[in-house]
Amino acid sequence: MPTSTIIKITGTNVRVKRSSPSSNKKSSKKSSSKKAAARKAPAKSATEAAIGERRKGQDGKYWIVEAYAKGQRWVRQAAAKLNSSVKSSAKKVVYSVKLTADKPKQSRASGRKGPDVSATAYKIGYNMVGNDGMMWTIKADKNGRHRWVRV
């Protein structure tokens, strides 16, 4: 669509305004519909829905309304919660984990180099292998707090 030129004469000033297809009212309506299509959550506002309401979003996944400090939001519901009937019919495997105060549960998922467990859970001088594969020991800093230090 070619651009048109509109000349507006006001007193002695002359203004030239060029319009493009993107500035038309019809095209702005199209962009607002594209904005709604880009939204993953349901089209209904979370503030209009009740807390706990579950709906299918525009991405095909299920969303649930949760309360937040300044109102409520749509939060994507986990896939495990959706298929509770399928999950209950599947074989259940029970793992028993013995947790004591001496050795808390460890996970290797964090990005830290030292051991994942807190140094305050052990006495000063305790040694442990860190996430980087090196040996770490617990020492007290100048304020008496326990810290992991590489050996």
Instruction: State pLDDT tens for residues 64-101.
Output: 998 888 888 998 987 755 555 444 545 555 665 555 55
Give the closest residue to 125 by CA, choosing from 146, 145, 139, 142: 139
pLDDT for the residue numbered 86: 47
Q: Where are the domains of the chain?
A: 39-89, 100-151
Angle at 140 between CA 137 and CA 141, to 5 degrees: 120
For residues 104-132, b (16+ Cβ closer than 10 Å) or e, as one string?
Answer: eeeeeeeeeebbeeebeebeeeeebebbe
Instruction: State pLDDT tens for residues 14-67.
Output: 556 666 555 555 555 555 555 556 788 898 888 888 888 899 988 888 999 988
Neighbours of 136 (CB within 10 A): 21
